[in-house]
């Protein structure tokens, strides 16, 4: 009888799709912690397609998803049952701070490896898949399956910030803009925000999953923002990048001392310098939280990848809209994306 992994390579089996869903979800829980490495999820299945292990890369310097999955399988005593590996990103085939993931997989009886995305690094792309195939492993690629478009899109969304770093040498830039019913960004007197608690949690989740924040001295002077993650649980022991657009002399000393405890602060006196400052960091994904002056400058210089607008209507309800300059956005992995899509306000820039 054929094993589960021997099903046609042209169709993604239902259980493989379910495994990819688990892998993306597990990797998503560590987004914002893995830089400069990509977030990656891995699921190991037996010959019947049952899940043995679900794992993800936690942070740079620790085991990659595939190696961690194999280690967990050994600890559980199920390594000899491994038949299929489902991985959101092509396994690496080079030694960096950790050994190659291909070797971890080849140390098991795995017969088939499903890859969600090819490695976007042009120097190593295809190397992992080729290594596995040379050893007789069947390698299936989501982008070659007739029924895997949605699953492939989720894997690409997970990888998008890392792919931007690999192909353009800079992090993915998400702009968050909150507007009241009249289109103003200014909260009522005595308040720092006018959005609903749900939108506030979304905003803080964005801080959690991003590796840095871009703001401006105008926002600093007006709000003295802490820019920390609240309302949702943050990753432990994190230092983020904070880029302040403007002159350092305009930043209050006590505010700068306070944020320096949690952020690596860089000042950007000229918006034209922002791409270089971001490129010099290890960040994969940065969030812009600033006022209309900086946002207009980002539009003018085309220094953004996707743009989340939270607009409150006259009844106090928030509505979400997303513009993106690409055919994929990591924002699509947020639960709120479903609501956004239902309102038909998630769209690419024409």
Numbered residues of the known binding site for NADP(+): 178, 219, 223, 291-297
Are the CB atoms for 318 and 311 separated by under 8 Å? Answer: yes
User: How far is Cα 206 from Cα 247, in angstroms, rounded to an integer?
Assistant: 26
Are the CB atoms for 308 and 336 separated by under 8 Å? Answer: no
CA 222 vs CA 197, 255, 293: distances in Å:
22, 12, 13
Residue 14 is a catalytic residue = no
Q: Of 207, 213, 214, 262, nearest to 232 (Cα)?
A: 207
Task: Find where tokens 């795995």 sit.
Answer: 110
- Which residues belong to the annotated binding site for Zn(2+)? 64, 92, 101
Strand order in the sheet with 138-141: 51-56, 41-45, 84-87, 112-115, 138-141
User: How far is Cα 78 from Cα 329, in angstroms, rounded to an integer?
Assistant: 36
Question: Hey, CA dihedral for 284, 285, 286, 288, is it positive or negative?
Answer: positive
Name the catalytic one among 66, 71, 135, 237: 66
User: How far is Cα 64 from Cα 87, in angstroms, rounded to an integer?
Assistant: 11
- Which residues belong to the annotated binding site for substrate? 207, 227, 230, 289
Strand order in the sheet with 285-288: 263-268, 240-245, 212-216, 285-288, 172-179, 306-312, 318-324, 346-348
- Which residues belong to the annotated binding site? 64, 92, 101, 178, 207, 219, 223, 227, 230, 289, 291-297
Which residues are identified as catalytic?
Answer: 66
């Amino acid at each position: 009888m054929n094993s589960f992994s021997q099903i046609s390579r042209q169709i993604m089996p239902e259980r493989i799709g379910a495994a990819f869903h688990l892998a993306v979800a597990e990797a998503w829980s560590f987004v914002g912690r893995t830089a400069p490495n990509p977030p990656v999820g891995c699921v190991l299945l037996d010959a019947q397609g049952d899940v043995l292990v679900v794992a993800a890369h936690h942070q740079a310097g620790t085991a990659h998803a595939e190696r961690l999955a194999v280690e967990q399988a050994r600890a559980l005593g199920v390594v000899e049952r491994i038949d299929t590996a489902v991985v959101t990103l092509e396994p690496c085939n080079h030694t960096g701070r950790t050994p190659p993931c291909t070797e971890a997989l080849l140390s098991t009886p795995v017969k088939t490896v499903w890859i969600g995305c090819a490695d976007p690094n042009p120097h190593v792309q295809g190397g992992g898949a080729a290594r596995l195939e040379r050893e007789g492993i069947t390698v299936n690629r989501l982008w070659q399956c007739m029924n895997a478009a949605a699953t492939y899109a989720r894997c690409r969304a997970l990888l998008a910030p890392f792919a931007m770093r690999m192909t353009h040498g800079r992090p993915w830039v998400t702009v968050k803009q909150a507007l009241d019913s009249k289109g103003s960004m200014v909260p009522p007197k005595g308040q720092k925000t006018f959005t609903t608690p749900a939108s506030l949690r979304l905003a803080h989740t964005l801080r959690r999953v991003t590796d840095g924040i871009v703001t401006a001295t105008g926002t600093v002077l007006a709000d003295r923002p802490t820019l920390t993650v609240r309302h949702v649980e943050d990753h432990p022991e994190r230092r983020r990048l904070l880029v302040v657009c403007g002159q350092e002399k305009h930043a209050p000393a006590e505010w700068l001392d306070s944020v320096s405890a949690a952020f690596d602060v860089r000042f950007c006196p000229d918006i034209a310098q922002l791409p270089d400052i971001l490129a010099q960091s290890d960040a994969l994904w940065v969030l812009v939280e600033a006022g209309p002056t900086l946002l207009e400058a980002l539009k003018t210089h085309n220094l953004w990848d996707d743009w989340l607008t939270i607009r409150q209507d006259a009844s106090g309800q928030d509505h979400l809209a997303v513009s993106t300059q690409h055919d994929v956005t990591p924002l699509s992995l947020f639960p709120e994306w479903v609501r956004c899509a239902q309102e038909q306000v998630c769209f690419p820039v024409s």
